[in-house]
Amino acid sequence: RYNPVNIQMLSASLHEQLFPDTPANTQSTDVIQKCIEHLSAHGLWGKAKSAARDVDMTLPPLLGENIDDHFRTIARQQSNAYYDMSQDIASSSLPSVPDMWEFRAGWCRYTEDTDGLHVTQVECPPDDALVFDVE
């Protein structure tokens, strides 16, 4: 399957699965002519081409109305947990800076409540996200 300027396109089977209810060619003759002129100006019009054989396979159903929705849905599925954590950390309040830092091996957790600032030695940070201020 080729478009009006002789560029190989997706097979009809794949096109129908990825772009349902969308006609294969909807370009005006003016647009096609401009494409041919542009390809000619760069010495590409009429060049020999190699063709890949048509692929005829059944794809999984699209997640959404179109291919854009499909990949946005997959991206959200893959990144939502990190997005939620970034929102949580961005909206959290910063603790007060301690008057004295604890200098000991391992991790120290600084927490603050109505009784003031508390330092607890922990095996590892229990938090979902950490911010390091390294200068």
Mean pLDDT of the chain: 91
- Is there a single domain that holds both residue 18 and residue 46? yes
Question: Could you give the number of structural domains in the chain?
Answer: 2
Is-catalytic flag, 128? no
Structure tokens at 18: 């990825």
**Residue range 44-70: average pLDDT?**
92
**pLDDT tens digit string along 60-76?**
999 999 999 999 999 99
- Is there a single domain that holds both residue 74 and residue 116? yes
Distance in Å from the first CA to the final CA of the chain: 58
**pLDDT tens digit string along 83-97?**
999 999 999 888 788
Residue 109 lies in a domain: yes
Residue 121, pLDDT score: 94
Q: Which three-class secondary structure string do you get for 71-134?
A: HHHHHHHHHHHHHHHHHHHHHCCCCCCCCCCCCCCCEEEEEEECCEEEEEEECCCCCCCCCCCC
Residue 130 lies in a domain: no
Residue 13 lies in a domain: yes
The catalytic position among 30, 99, 113, 133 is 133
Question: Which range of residues forms the domain containing residue 20?
Answer: 2-59
Q: How confident is the model at residue 1 (pLDDT cuts 50, 70, 90)?
A: confident
